[in-house]
């Protein structure tokens, strides 16, 4: 079809589609799905070959969050029966990280629930990073602690952090439907602080709550303008005990279309399939690897993923290979752009418009996006409620059981 030919040609050149073209991807039919995946796959292979980057989550502090993000099992007032614990000791976090690295993870993501860190919390995290780096100096470290105050990003960078995660989650226009305890502008400010300190931006979205196609395209274009080096695509995990527990509006086909749209808008950027892939993509997960070049290995923050070995088998069986520690994730020209942007921020000049900079909550990739009140019903939605697929994490960090990696 002409649309996919156009998108493929643009993607191979590293060009961004129009909003209308991005919307058209989401409007394609199930009969066209394999053509959409094949087109996005050509773009993915152009910039990332057949490599899959593995990332591993360590939940440093679980639950007990004062924020009221509607999608999150760790939110204020959540009745989800998740693990709740305060800060892990550095050696405990390092042990959890070691399991992920041994399983093939190149990046370890250190996440803590809460509105944002205190200076004492930054001290805790820097001690944890030191313990992890002592065991493996080459491991990439991404930190996700919520809203940052002045000089905290600089301290994380100086302590060895490579990246900071703060997801945009949804479009600016519908952000108020997610939470009332902080604003989109607060998120904008945190990503600017992280960029200004020279940290790589890891910022993505959460889909699955009946949001409109326009909302999805808005947030993905905002992420592109933001200059996010890594775009995690989360699919809502409807936890019992949260306001969105009964919201099941995704099909595997819808998820693949969303991933393809993200890839076309971000042809040369790391696109990561994050929380909810086992719940919503299910047996279609291998097709997602033809679009995205990055996944989380094993479990998530408060939910269990498929076995780590199953992830590795899936990658191999689909004809892909795990990205090695010595391999650069981003293509050289993209890495140059990221480094230049960081240098510009460090010099006091933001390379992106303030309205385009934003990010996501301190609880990381654990949920989805509040339903827009005027969002139309999704064509092909109506996925049956599958509570059996939502498994609360009972192993790994914060428990006596071995982690899944």
In tens, the pLDDT along 189-212 reads: 888 888 889 999 999 999 997 789
pLDDT at 304 over 70: yes
Please state the domain extents for the chain. 2-389
Question: What average pLDDT does this structure show over 149-155?
Answer: 96
Q: Can 144 be counted among the known catalytic residues? A: no
Q: Which of 75, 98, 107, 202 is catalytic?
A: 202
CATH, domain 2-389, list 3.30.1380.20, 3.60.20.10, 3.40.630.30, 3.20.20.70: 3.20.20.70
**366 a catalytic residue:** no
Q: What are the C-alpha distances in Å from 15 to residues 85, 136, 177, 205, 267?
A: 45, 37, 32, 21, 7
Beta strands in 15-116 (DSSP E): 51-61, 107-112
Q: Which phi-psi region, left, alpha or beta, contains residue 356 (left: φ > 0; alpha: ψ -120 to 50)?
A: alpha
Q: Which of 51, 75, 224, 272 is catalytic?
A: 272
**What SS3 class is residue 188?**
helix
pLDDT in the model for residue 387: 67
At 76 the pLDDT is 64
Does the annotation mark 282 as catalytic?
no
Is residue 202 part of the annotated active site? The answer reads: yes
Q: Which of 142, 144, 255, 357 is catalytic?
A: 142
- Which residues, including other chains, have CB under 8 Å from residue 287's CB and lie 6 or more apart? 37, 256, 281
| 109 is annotated as an active-site residue | yes
CA distance 79 to 81: 6
- In this prediction, residues 172-194 reach a mean pLDDT of 85
Q: Residue 262 and residue 216: Cα distance in Å, rounded? A: 9
363 is catalytic: no
For helices 213-226 and 252-265, give the axis angle rounded to 10 degrees: 30
125 token code pair: 């995290």
Rounded (5°) CA angle 106-307-35: 75
Query: Beta strand 163-165 with 205-207: parallel, antiparallel or unpaired?
Result: unpaired
Q: Return the pLDDT at 179.
A: 80
Q: Which of 51, 65, 144, 366 is catalytic?
A: 65
Express each pLDDT in 154-168 by its tens digit: 999 999 999 999 998
How does residue 405 score in pLDDT terms, banded at 50, 70 and 90? Answer: confident
pLDDT given at position 365: 46
- 6-10, 133-137, 340-344: range with lowest mean pLDDT: 340-344
> Would you say residue 374 has pLDDT above 70?
no
Is residue 96 scored above 90 in pLDDT? yes
Q: Please tell me which residue in 44, 72, 98, 254 is annotated as part of the active site.
A: 72
- Selected catalytic residue, list 51, 75, 107, 109: 109
Helix (H) or strand (E) holding 24: helix 19-26
The answer for residues whose C-beta is within 8 angstroms of residue 220's C-beta and 6 or more apart is 22, 205, 231, 261, 262, 265, 266
């Amino acid at each position: 079809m002409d649309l996919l030919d156009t998108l493929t040609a643009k993607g191979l050149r590293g060009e961004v589609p129009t909003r209308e073209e991005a919307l058209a991807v989401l409007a394609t039919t199930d009969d066209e799905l394999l053509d959409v995946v094949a087109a996005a796959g050509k773009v993915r292979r152009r910039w990332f070959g057949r490599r899959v980057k593995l990332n591993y989550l360590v939940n440093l502090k679980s639950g007990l969050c004062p924020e009221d993000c509607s999608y999150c099992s760790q939110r204020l007032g959540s009745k989800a029966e998740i693990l709740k614990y305060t800060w892990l000791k550095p050696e405990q976090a390092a042990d959890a990280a070691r399991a992920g690295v041994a399983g093939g993870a190149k990046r370890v993501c250190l996440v803590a629930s809460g509105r944002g860190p205190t200076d004492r919390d930054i001290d805790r995290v820097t001690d944890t990073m030191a313990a992890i780096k002592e065991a493996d100096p080459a491991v990439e470290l991404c930190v996700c602690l919520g809203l940052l105050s002045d000089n905290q990003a600089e301290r994380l960078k100086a302590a060895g952090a490579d990246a900071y995660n703060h997801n945009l989650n949804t479009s600016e226009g519908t952000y108020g439907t997610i939470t009332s305890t902080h604003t989109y502008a607060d998120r904008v400010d945190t990503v600017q602080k992280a960029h200004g300190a020279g940290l790589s931006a890891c910022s993505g979205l959460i889909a699955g709550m009946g949001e409109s196609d326009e909302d999805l395209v808005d947030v993905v274009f905002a992420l592109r303008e933001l200059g996010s080096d890594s775009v995690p695509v989360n699919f809502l995990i409807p936890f019992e005990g949260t306001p969105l527990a009964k919201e099941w509006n995704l099909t595997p086909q819808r998820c693949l279309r969303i991933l393809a749209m993200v890839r076309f808008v971000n042809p040369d950027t790391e696109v990561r399939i994050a929380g909810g892939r086992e719940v919503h993509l299910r047996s279609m997960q291998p097709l997602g690897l033809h679009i995205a070049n990055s996944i989380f290995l094993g479990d998530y923050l408060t939910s269990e993923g498929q076995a780590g070995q199953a992830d590795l088998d899936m990658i191999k069986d689909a004809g892909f290979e795990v990205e090695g520690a010595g391999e650069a994730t981003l293509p050289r020209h993209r890495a140059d752009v990221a480094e230049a942007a960081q240098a510009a921020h460090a010099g006091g000049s933001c390379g992106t418009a303030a309205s385009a900079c934003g990010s996501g909550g301190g609880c990381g990739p654990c949920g989805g996006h509040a339903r827009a009140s005027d969002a139309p019903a999704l064509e092909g939605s109506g996925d049956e409620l599958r509570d059996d697929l939502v498994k609360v994490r009972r192993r790994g960090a914060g428990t006596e059981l071995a982690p899944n990696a």
